[in-house]
Structure 1
Amino acid sequence: MNKETPNEYKSVTAHYIKNELFRTVYVSGVYGGFTPEGLLNVNFFTERATIPQQITITPIQDGQRLRLEESNPVGKQGITRELQVGTVMSIQQAQALQIWLADKIEEFNRFNQ
């Protein structure tokens, strides 16, 4: 079986449009793994200090000023990782993303030497 390889590839114009749910988010990290179907699930999160569910606020007279003192925080301890967006992709797309990221990192390093 002899397959011919085209000598020239035709170019195609790609048009980018934003979905109504499109948004830009800051990413602190990533969490994920493989789905039962073998796709890669990648969840991007923003990491921050945990915000208490409630606190006690006590007004304190400090000379001529009144200040508010916060105490007795109630809620979860530790840090919060707020999931911003989840993606699911094939391993081939993950490899293409890996190459794209490596190229962008190399480009950044070239311009910042």
Structure 2
Amino acid sequence: MSQNDPTISFKYIFKYDYNPVYINGAQGGISPRGEIIANFYLERQPLPNEITHAVNPDGSIGSNVIATDPENLNSLIIRYVSSGVVLNYQNARSLHSWLGDKIAELEKIIRVDDLSSGGELNNRQ
């Protein structure tokens, strides 16, 4: 590139509370305006709001749980929705392309690591 070629620089500005979060799923769809909506979540086991234990004769907490709130705690899975995005068609296509590039880069790294250790890509997933 010669010195006369036009260039542009981008400066990244982060909110003071910027904090990337781990996600392991997404839920969304197409809006009435034709935009793609993706809500990102972390799927996990729930924590009880309250548990009740018996008290042993010596005053220590017993190991048996008498009650939990909510009662159906063991049949629940929490999907904590931390953030979401709304994308128009062109931005969705650009993000799709960018993600595809990053996945391809990661697959090359994984293959190199697996080849050097004698493993296969499928064993890592």
Which band: TM-score by shorter chain?
Answer: 0.7 to 0.9
Q: How far apart in 1 are the matches of 2:46 and 2:86?
A: 28
Q: How far apart in 1 are the matches of 2:12 and 2:100?
A: 22
Q: How far apart in 2 are the matches of 1:41 and 1:86?
A: 7
Q: How far apart in 2 are the matches of 1:44 and 1:91?
A: 19
Q: Which residue of 2 aligns with 1:96?
A: 94
Identity level (%): 29
Aligned pair 1:14/2:10, yes or no? yes
CA deviation string 1:17-75 (max 9, x = no partner): 1023422111010011111111111111011112222211223479xxx4542342221
Contact 1:42 1:88 survives alignment (8 Å): yes
Kindly indicate which of the two structures has a greater share of residues assigned to strand.
1
Contact 1:60 1:67 survives alignment (8 Å): yes
| Number of aligned residues | 103
Aligned pair 1:54/2:35, yes or no? no
Kindly indicate which of the two structures has a greater share of residues assigned to helix.
2
Q: 1:24 to 1:52 in 2, by over 3 A?
A: same
> Which runs of 5 or more structure 1 residues have no equivalent in the other structure?
1-8
CA deviation string 1:65-101 (max 9, x = no partner): x454234222154100000001111111111111111
Contact 1:61 1:67 survives alignment (8 Å): no
Q: How far apart in 1 are the matches of 2:57 and 2:95?
A: 58
Q: Which residue of 2 aligns with 1:112?
A: 110
Alpha-carbon RMSD: 2.3
Normalised by the length of structure 2, the TM-score is 0.71
> Which runs of 5 or more structure 2 residues have no equivalent in the other structure?
112-125
- Match 2:67 to one of 54, 69, 72: 72
Q: Which region of structure 1 is more displaced relative to structure 2, 97-106 or 74-83?
A: 74-83
